[in-house]
Amino acid sequence: MFQNVPPLGMCTPEQSMWHDDLRSTHPLLRGFELGIVTQVIYMHYALSYLGIISWMFGHLI
């Protein structure tokens, strides 16, 4: 999903290929990246959920 985003600045194709190889061969790095993505998604859902609840309370009061 986030394949086209260069990690921390621009990368040459060789560096990005090496980065992809390292990420695919090293399961900890892959799990770390997936953990960041899921944390961002959960934060987004939690914030939208809180926004809906506060909006409903604002209309009830």
Contact (CB, 8 A) for 2 and 37: yes
Work out the average pLDDT over 28-35: 67
Contact (CB, 8 A) for 23 and 29: yes
Q: What would the pLDDT profile of 35-55 be if each residue is shown by its tens digit?
A: 777 888 888 888 888 888 888
Q: Is the pTM of this model over 0.75?
A: no
Question: Rounded distance, CA 56 to CA 61, Å?
Answer: 9
Domain ranges of the chain: 33-61
Question: Rounded distance, CA 22 to CA 27, Å?
Answer: 9
Residue 20 pLDDT > 50, yes or no?
yes
**According to the model, what pLDDT value does residue 44 have?**
87
Helix residue ranges, H only, the chain: 13-25, 27-60
**According to the model, what pLDDT value does residue 1 have?**
43
Work out the average pLDDT over 19-32: 60
> Tokens 């934060």 — which residue?
43
